Amino acid sequence: MNPRLVLATHNPGKVAEVIHILRDEPTLSDLDQTSVVRAAHFGVAPPIEDGATFAENALIKARALSHATGLPAVADDSGLAVDIMGGAPGIFSARWCGHHGNDAANLALLLGQLAEHTDVGQRRAKFICAAALVTPDGEETVCVGEMPGHLTTEARGGYGFGYDPIFIPDNQPTDVIRTSAELTPDEKNSISHRAQAFRALAPAIVAALSHQSAAAYSPIPEAPANQDE
């Protein structure tokens, strides 16, 4: 099957996560890793993310990828916003320590910055995800999901990534209070900011893929009849 949708990520794990979320939509149940591919499939270099918000950065990535591939492109940008820090780390969450993707260093720095704030009310935070769809004809849709909660004082759990080990969601899938990293992938997907954003975006993806299929298989118009015959 030819690719139908491209995701602005070089992380194969995120592709699997997004497919899992989108397949909950009945009309997207046939999506798999041959019809949904990541940017690396086309060798597209990531653009400079110089937006001031999660939504702006998601659109920057989706626009660049759709333009380069000619396919509907989906991108997301997400991070952690801590109330007492004015919303930081925010769009800088992945590189809070100064280096991109160093989860351990990011966690250590954030816990150190909050060390004097031990009351739960002073450790309120939320994960935010903006998911964007850009189609080859220029249609753009952005949906935002949030997962509120608070931060622990030490890391717990072996699932997830990023700040998951120190984040306790308000909306727990069971009666046991756990960090995001202590939730199974299915439990996390039932409540996460990313799942909320992509589920909200799913109808726009359905419409884009339906339009794509109609364009690909539309019959060739018949030539007008020769009036002299």
DSSP 3-32: --EEES-S-HHHHHHHHHHHTTSGGGTT--
Active site residue ranges: 77
Amino acid type, 6: V
HSE-CB of 171 using CA atoms within 13 angstroms: 13
Among 4, 3, 1, 2, which residue's Cα sits nearest to residue 211? 4
| Cβ contacts of 101 within 8 Å, gap of 6 or more | 94, 95
Name the DSSP class of 40.
G
Name the DSSP class of 89.
B
Residue 178 main-chain phi, psi, to 5 deg: -135, 160
